[in-house]
Amino acid sequence: MDAAFLIESAVKVLIVLGFVLLGVPLIVWMERKVIGHMQDRIGPQRVGPFGLLQTIADGIKLFFKEDIIPAQADRVVFILAPALSVITAFVALTVVPFGDTITVAGRTVYLHITDVNVAILWVLGTTSMGVYGIVLGGWASNSKYPLLGGLRSSAQMISYELAQGISLVSVILMTGTLSLASIVRQQEHMWFIVPQFFAFVIYILCGIAETNRAPFDLPEAETELVAGFHTEFSSMKFALYFLAEYANMMVVSAIAISVFFGGWRGPFLPPVVWFLIKLSLFLFFYVWLRATFPRLRYDQLMAFGWKVLLPASLLNLTVTAVVVALQNNP
């Protein structure tokens, strides 16, 4: 392990971290602006050109808000929970390839922080750890609505994780690898969205449910649960939950791009630009969904996950397995 490798890794970590921290305010601005126009409003437009600095201003405001910890709360867990949410979201991004190799001062630099041979399992593992942030936040508040929101969300996330994992397994069967970088490398001639369209549909539905976004945002359904698990959180702790939600959206989108949409591949433009274009389209899709669909009822949500998505993903896996077996032994 030489010094150059350490410096290279540190620089890559800083770039990704900075990108997420600067990207989240932009996404929030985009969300408010797009939803505004979809609802025939203007959206933020006062702070900075086109209201671009509005979310930065909101962030600064949250910094200076009073940080309230309820008297009956479990202090340590209450502080730990939002941090846990953010950490798990960021750690998942370490294995995402966001470009091809580049050469800096005679060194070949791979544009991903690390390429482990179990990358997909790593991402699934960290997202399953993300449940803790929410369920502990709900429990530590020691208050009824947060607890209900936390329990709802853990049940929801565990249910949808299953179908999400299985939908990715069908792509793993085709490529024979768990590494995201080699999955992207194998999509030179065809994006995997073409042979694995159903796997993609299942994956993205589960991804939206995993990130607790509309129309699956039951854990924070304001009409029944106030604000769900983050009711008692204020100031920067609330901001951390906010950050984690948007970072998780980035993770789900980045994995979808790498596995189904050829990762950084694309004609003419540099690979990193293609990756960013695809990422923005995915995030726009998230916002579009939120502006379009009403929230599901809780029993509908669970029934949809267990009785529709899970059998569908298993069926897709079986068909893929048969086709792969026939191709290998004609």
Partner 1 sequence: MTEAILFSLFSFSAVVFAFNVIFRKNPVHCALHLVGVLLSLSGMFVLLNAQFIAAIQILIYAGAIMVLFLFVVMLLNVRGEVPLLTPGAAKGFGFFFALIAFVEVLWVVVTHGGAEGTPQPPAPLPPGFGSPAEIGRILYTTWLFPFEVTSILLLIAVIGAVVLAKRKFA
In the complex, the residues that contact partner 1 under the rule CB under 8 A are 1, 74, 77, 116-118, 121-122, 124-126, 128-129, 131-132, 135-136, 139, 147, 151, 154, 158, 161, 176, 178
Q: Which is nearer to partner 1, 164 or 196 (CB)?
A: 164
Q: Which is nearer to partner 1, 109 or 121 (CB)?
A: 121
Neighbours of 115 (CB within 10 A): 14
For residue 154, the minimal CB distance to partner 1 (Å) is 6
For residue 73, the minimal CB distance to partner 1 (Å) is 13
For residue 94, the minimal CB distance to partner 1 (Å) is 13
DSSP 61: H
Q: Which two tokens stand for residue 18?
A: 């900075």
Token look-up 């690390």 returns 114
Q: Which is nearer to partner 1, 162 or 323 (CB)?
A: 162
Q: Which is nearer to partner 1, 30 or 140 (CB)?
A: 140
Q: DSSP 3-state assignment of 44? A: coil
Neighbours of 301 (CB within 10 A): 20
DSSP 102: E
CA distances from 64 to 57, 59, 233, 234 (A): 11, 9, 14, 11
Between CA 258 and CA 240 the distance in angstroms is: 26
CB 58 within 8 A of CB 103: no
For residue 69, the minimal CB distance to partner 1 (Å) is 17
CB 153 within 8 A of CB 229: yes
For residue 223, the minimal CB distance to partner 1 (Å) is 24
Q: Which is nearer to partner 1, 128 or 235 (CB)?
A: 128
